[in-house]
Chain A
Amino acid sequence: MKRAITITVNGQEHEEMVENRLLLVDFLRDVINLTGTHVGCSFEGVCGACTVHLDGVPVKSCLMLAVQADGRSITTVEGLAKNGVLSILQQSFTEHHALQCGYCTSGILMNATEFLQSNPSPSEDEIRASLIGNICRCTGYVHIVAAIKTAAQRLAATRLEVAK
C-alpha cells in the first residue's frame, strides 16, 4: 500500500513514504506543503490549475500518482522565481493584470513558461491554442495573452543581450 519515493521538487530532494493512491498534486500540497499548485476541477483533469513540470514538461499533477514521479524531477510555481526575483513571465503577468482571483495562475505560468521555451516567438493564435488546457474563469484571457506576448518579446531581448 505504501512505498518510499524520492522526488526532486524545485531542485530539492524529498524522500517520503506515501500511499500508492496518493495523487501527485496532493503530494505537493499536503505532504511537502507547496500549496502554489492548485486543484480546480478535482477529477476530470480539464482545468489545468494543477499544471507542473515533470522533467521540464508541463503535465497535470492531478492525472498522475506521486509514485509515478518517483525518481523524477518536478518544478512547481514556487520554483519559477529565483532568489526572490520573479521570472520575466511572472513579472509580465503582474504588469498586465493577467490574474484576478489567481486560482488558475500557477498552472498557466507553468504551462506558458515551457511553451515560450519551445516556441520563443509565438503568434497570438498559437498563444491562445497553448492555453486550451488552462481554464480561467475571471480575467477572460485577454490580459493573459497580452502578458505572454510581452514576456516573449522580453525573453527574446534578453537572449539578444546574452548573445552580444
Chain B
Amino acid sequence: MFPAPILEYFRPASVGEATRLLSGGAGENAHIIAGGQSLMQAIKSRLISPDALIDLQDIKALRSIHFDKNGLVIGAMTSYADIASDKRIPAAFAALCDAAGHVGDRQVRNRGTIGGSLCWNYIAACLPPTCLGLSATLELQNAAGRRRMVEARAFLKGPLETDRSSDELLIAIHLGPAAARTGSAYRKWGLVTDALPVVNICVSLEVGADHICREARVALGARSEGPTRVEAAELALRGVRKGDVRAIDAALDAAAEAADYQSDLWADAPYKKVLLRKIGREAVTVAFARASGEVGK
C-alpha cells in the first residue's frame, strides 16, 4: 500500500515556524503529522492525500509533562508511552495513564501522541473521552501568535471534527486545578486486549472525607456522534457513598441509556450497554479508591 505523491515535507523547529506553514506557507492541502499512527493509515489507504506534510517532531517545546499553578500541563506532542509511565501524574488525572497505557500496543504508544489523538478525534479513540471526563482545557496558537484556550467539550465536535482552525496548532493540554480528594479512571472494552474501544468510559470523582461523592464527571466515547459527557450519570453519582454498588449501577444504567449506542459489527447496542455497566463499575470503583489516596491500578 503506497501513499499518493506528497509534494512537500516540512519539519519546523518552532511553533512559530509551524503556524506560519499552516497559515499558507505549506500550501492549501497541507496536513500536520504528529505521531502518525492514525494519519499514516489514512495516507496509505489514500483516504487523504495531502500535498504537504508538516512534521512536528523537532519542536521540543511541545513534548513535555510539567506542572503549573493550576495543575498539569501536557505538551501536544507527548507520547502515550511518556504519559503512561509518568509517576508524577496525580490521582485526579490518573485516567490519562489508564488511557495512554492501553492504546494499541508498545510500538504505537512510543510514536502516538495525545495531541494527535485529540486533533484526529476518531470515534474509537481513548484520549478524547478521557480529556472530556477530566475537563481538560486545550491551548491553541495561530500564526499571529494569538493563544486561545478551549474546553475539551467545545473542542471535540463530531467524529474527526474539532474546533481547531486550519491555521492553529494545538500546543498543550491543561488539567486542573483539581479539588483535594479527586480520583479518576478510564476503562475500555475492545475485541482483543488493548484494541480500539467498542465501549469506553472516563470517570472523575471528587469525594469527601466521609467517602461520599461531591462532584462527578462521566464521559463516554465510541459513539457515532463523537464523545460526550453524560449529565444524568453525573447527577446520579453525586451523594453516592464509596462501595454502594447498587447506587453506582443505577448511575451507570443512566449512562447506558443516555449513550445512544448503535449496533455495529463489533457489538449490538444492548450488548454495549451491558459492557458499559461492567467497565463503568470498575472505573467508578477505581476512581473512588484513587480519590481516597489508595493506589488503584
Q: How far is the CA of A132 from the CA of B107 in the complex (A)?
A: 9
CB of B106 within 8 A of CB of A132, answer yes
List A28-47 residues whose CB lies under 8 Å from chain B.
Answer: 42-45
In the bound complex, what is the Cα–Cα distance between A133 and B5 (angstroms)? 28
Q: How far is the CA of A23 from the CA of B107 in the complex (A)?
A: 16
Across the two chains, which residue of chain A brings its CB closest to B193? A132
Chain A contacts for B5, CB-based, 8 A: 1, 19-21
* Most chain B CB atoms below 10 A, which of A1, A19, A23, A60: A60
Whether B2 pairs with A60 at a CB distance below 8 angstroms is no
Q: Is the CB of A20 within 8 A of B106?
A: no
B182 CB to closest chain A CB, in angstroms?
Answer: 28
Is A63's CB under 8 angstroms from B36's CB? yes
Q: Which of A3, A59, A63, A70 contacts B41 (CB 8 A)?
A: A63
Q: Is A80 an interface position by the 8 A CB rule?
A: no
Q: How far is the CA of A58 from the CA of B107 in the complex (A)?
A: 5
Instruction: Tell me whether A133 and B105 are in contact (CB under 8 A).
Output: yes
B7 contacts the other chain (CB 8 A): yes
Question: A residues within 8 A CB of B295?
Answer: none
User: A74 at the A/B interface (Cβ < 8 Å)?
Assistant: no
Check if A42 sits within 8 Å of B107, measured CB to CB.
Answer: no
Whole-angstrom distance between the alpha carbons of A59 and B113 in the complex? 13
With A21-B2, A59-B107, A63-B111 as known contacts, state yes or no: A132 contacts B7, CB within 8 Å: no
Is the C-beta of B166 less than 8 angstroms from some C-beta in chain A?
A: no
Interface set of B (CB-CB < 8 Å, partner A): 1-9, 11, 33, 36-37, 40-41, 44-45, 53, 55, 57, 81, 104-108, 110-111, 192-194
Where the two chains meet, the residues of A that have a C-beta atom closer than 8 Å to any C-beta of B are 1, 3, 19-21, 23, 42-45, 48, 51, 54, 57-60, 62-65, 67-68, 70, 111, 115, 129-130, 132-134
